[in-house]
Structure 1
Amino acid sequence: MSDDALPEPDRVEGAPHPRETASLHGQHAAEDRFLDAAAGRLHHGWMLTGPRGVGKATLGWRIARFLVDGAEDRGTGLYVPPDSSTFRRIAALGEPRVHLTRRPWDEKAKRLRTVIGVEEVRSLKSFFTMSAADGGWRVAIVDAMDEMNVAGQNALLKVLEEPPERALILMVCHQPGRLLPTIRSRCRELRLGTLDAASLDSAMMDAGFPPEGNAAALAELSGGSAGEAIRMIADDGVAVYAALVKLLDGAPKMSRPAMIGLAETAAGRTAETRYDLMVRLVDRLLARLSRTGAMGETPVEVVPGEAAVLARLAPGLTAAQGWADLAETLAGRVGHARAVNLDPAQVMLDTFVQIDATARRVS
């Protein structure tokens, strides 16, 4: 497999990579905070935090272009035009002053490795031993820090403790609480929020995924994440969610054949994306059940009939707590199942059985 054909762990399939994206939608406050910091002595380590898919990596690449291109002297914000030589070099990963650290390709196993390890951090450290030809900035982007193992984090810590001059490390973090406290204490945090409906629509249009008739449903199911909304479109997520709601409509006596049939769609090597999608949508459905019981009102209906199902199965605070507890339990079970490589179909069937049992207790 050629380098050009290798899968990229930091790309949403079918969408432009963040380094190829000129615009960032709905994150003006985060951009302004960085620009304010850049007006003084710029800290060397930044954690770009917030939900997955809201533009953290896109912001990181905008910052890299901004510093390498010298745009801080032009008063144009972080924007660097796509037709500039800096933009083109960075988009092609051909800019010697910018380094990307991410999960590598395992040539022996013919798949992406599951973690960012010490070897990748050594490469980052070697990058910083070289001086920029013009004495300008050198920028390293780590996408994502959540995937860096403890040994890799300890190795990175040494760089953060003794940073080179005019060097910046931008760390994309979906769950910063999983990082070593010593890493967090040496970095500044730049938090990005979820996207409002208008920003979500414009981001998806920019990525070539217009929401069309499913805009409201996608906004609800994605939780304000453009990356998640794009995955929903690519994997027919609204239809999968409708199937889950239809199954739940039978609770607390859900059809066993229906449970098995839906679970089996997540089985097999080619269904890995479907399995991941279904796990996320089950979590979203449980969150909406819990919210319905806690708030005493149903959220915006995503698919026909959903509101009635949510109202029936989450009539009050006791039910809300039951669904929230189940979501936490299932998250732990799914994590364990991935660690020991359990059959996805069996994991989903067990999930449906647990949902049916909870419905019996709380409704």
Structure 2
Amino acid sequence: MPDIQIPEPNEHTFFIGHERFENEFRGYWEKKQVPHALLLAGPKGIGKATFAYRVARFILENATQNENNATLTLELGDPEYFEGLKVASESNTILQVANKTHPGLMILERSENAQTRKMRNEIVLDDLKGLSDFLHLTAGNDSWRVVIIDSVDEMNIHSSNAILKLLEEPPKQVLFILISNNSGRVLSTIRSRCRQLTFSQLEYESIAKIIGLIVPDVDGQTLDSACRLSEGSVRAALDIVSGGTVGTLEDIVILFDTDLPIDRCKAEEIFEKWVQSRTKNEVNLIENKLEAVIAWLARGVRQFARDPNTVEEVVKGEKDVVISLIGRRGLDDFCERLKAAGAVIERTKQLHLDTKQTFFSVMHTLAGE
């Protein structure tokens, strides 16, 4: 599969799944009861950011209104997919939001550390520079402003407290949209001041339709594997389609389809194969592949826990590998090994550790060696 240009959430002009939240927000708008803050909670990659930008486009497109009647510019009724908050296709707002240049939109996210030239691991106070001026701009003609925080989980205590103060006394005509991949990490005082919308995993059919729109020439087998392996995440499904995940999993089946210890030469070959598959602009290749392996095995564990006979195979030999890895020390122990392997990957991404060492550490951890 050639390189796929995966659109960012601010670039999407369609929205599939979670239609009830579009209906809910449309109701707030029409009743002039828009909350001052939304907390979009749920697993990563299931459409929260896409929804956030969709709401932002809708508000900013319809921000100028007279006192009693909003001027809506929606296009409704498309039979192919739900368009509850879609603005007119010719609107300049679409381009401005896609480029993150709309004067009524501010996005708070992690930034690059000027000294180390590396992305910070958290949103710091410096990332909030300009927010105060943005919020206190004169809002003529009932204009709205939107602040998107992606993600609120990544704010440190200082930036969290700064946002909390704003939520305690919210400015007029401002909507905060907080995106959370792990709402347990959000300050309870922030959660209590937001209208929380909890997003669930998307259904197979919704993911297939989205992939079909973005990658219309995807083959049926790859599409089916992506939908089944994605665990309800569009982002994961797109990564599978574009990143050769099925081939990665076949490599792991070959590696673990032997008695302990792991064959070092075979593992070396797999690692080098993965490295050689790197595209020009791809970052965190090894870490991403390892995370796909962890997610795949975790899926097998969940199926095994329900019924060992119902482990569904996406790649040939998958069931035998899952049963073998669990059988070495039991189900509980393998769950702990999965968590430990995930922690190794996360530490590598945060500290920029050697990926080859990480690869072998994860393989040995999963094998229980």
Do Structure 1 and Structure 2 share a fold, with TM-score over 0.5?
yes
Shift of 1:58: 1.1
- 2:300–2:319 Cα contact (<8 Å) kept: no
2:58 matched residue in structure 1: 66
Choose from 8, 27, 33 the match for 1:41: 33
Choose from 333, 356, 367 the match for 1:345: 356
What are the Cα deviations for residues 315-349 of structure 1, in whole angstroms up to 9, with x where unaligned?
A: 69x73222212112223333344444431211221
Shift of 1:128: 0.6
- The alignment-based identity, stated in percent, is 27
Residue 307 of structure 1 aligns with an amino acid whose one-letter code is K
2:92 matched residue in structure 1: 85
- 2:325–2:367 Cα contact (<8 Å) kept: no
Shift of 1:265: 5.6
Compared CA separation, residues 265 and 110, structure 1 to 2 (3 A): farther
- 1:267–1:344 Cα contact (<8 Å) kept: no
What are the Cα deviations for residues 228-285 of structure 1, in whole angstroms up to 9, with x where unaligned?
A: 1112222222211211122121244431222233345667998743222222123123
What are the Cα deviations for residues 206-228 of structure 1, in whole angstroms up to 9, with x where unaligned?
A: 22365422122111222121111
Quick check: 111-120 or 45-54, which moved more?
111-120
- 2:10–2:50 Cα contact (<8 Å) kept: yes
TM-score when scaled to structure 2?
0.84
Quick check: 252-261 or 345-354, which moved more?
252-261
1:361 matched residue in structure 2: none
Residue 353 of structure 2 aligns with an amino acid whose one-letter code is L
Give the Cα separation in 1 of the matches to 2:363 and 2:7. Answer: 35
2:81 matched residue in structure 1: none
Three-state SS of the structure 1 residue aligned to 2:319 is helix
Three-state SS of the structure 2 residue aligned to 1:169 is strand
Choose from 111, 124, 142 the match for 1:117: 124
- 1:204–1:210 Cα contact (<8 Å) kept: no
Shift of 1:107: 5.4
Q: What does residue range 1-363 of structure 1 map to in structure 2 within 5 Å?
A: 14-38=5-29, 39-70=31-62, 73-74=71-72, 76=76, 77-106=84-113, 109-208=116-215, 210-212=217-219, 213-263=221-271, 272-296=283-307, 297-314=309-326, 319-357=330-368
Quick check: 216-225 or 255-264, which moved more?
255-264
What are the Cα deviations for residues 102-160 of structure 1, in whole angstroms up to 9, with x where unaligned?
A: 22345554454433211222322321111222222111111222332222112111111
Three-state SS of the structure 1 residue aligned to 2:128 is helix
Quick check: 346-355 or 32-41, which moved more?
32-41
Shift of 1:312: 4.1
Three-state SS of the structure 2 residue aligned to 1:51 is coil
- 1:50–1:174 Cα contact (<8 Å) kept: yes
- 1:44–1:168 Cα contact (<8 Å) kept: yes
Give the Cα separation in 1 of the matches to 2:345 and 2:137. Answer: 43
Give the Cα separation in 1 of the matches to 2:161 and 2:4. Answer: 31
Residue 248 of structure 1 aligns with an amino acid whose one-letter code is F
Give the Cα separation in 1 of the matches to 2:155 and 2:13. Answer: 27
Compared CA separation, residues 134 and 234, structure 1 to 2 (3 A): same
Three-state SS of the structure 2 residue aligned to 1:134 is helix
Give the Cα separation in 1 of the matches to 2:339 and 2:324. Answer: 22
Quick check: 347-356 or 304-313, which moved more?
304-313
What are the Cα deviations for residues 44-70 of structure 1, in whole angstroms up to 9, with x where unaligned?
A: 111112221111111111111111222
Give the Cα separation in 2 of the matches to 1:131 and 1:265. Answer: 57
- For structure 1, the 5+ residue unaligned runs are 1-11, 359-363
- 1:97–1:132 Cα contact (<8 Å) kept: no
Give the Cα separation in 1 of the matches to 2:32 and 2:56. Answer: 17
- 1:267–1:343 Cα contact (<8 Å) kept: no
Three-state SS of the structure 2 residue aligned to 1:142 is strand
Compared CA separation, residues 216 and 33, structure 1 to 2 (3 A): same
Give the Cα separation in 2 of the matches to 1:196 and 1:88. Answer: 29
Residue 331 of structure 2 aligns with an amino acid whose one-letter code is A
Give the Cα separation in 2 of the matches to 1:21 and 1:149. Answer: 29
TM-score when scaled to structure 1?
0.85
- 1:200–1:219 Cα contact (<8 Å) kept: yes
Give the Cα separation in 1 of the matches to 2:346 and 2:284. Answer: 16
Residue 49 of structure 2 aligns with an amino acid whose one-letter code is A
- 1:34–1:190 Cα contact (<8 Å) kept: no
Residue 349 of structure 1 aligns with an amino acid whose one-letter code is F
- For structure 2, the 5+ residue unaligned runs are 64-69, 77-83
What are the Cα deviations for residues 151-192 of structure 1, in whole angstroms up to 9, with x where unaligned?
A: 211211111111001110011211121122222221121122
Shift of 1:29: 2.0
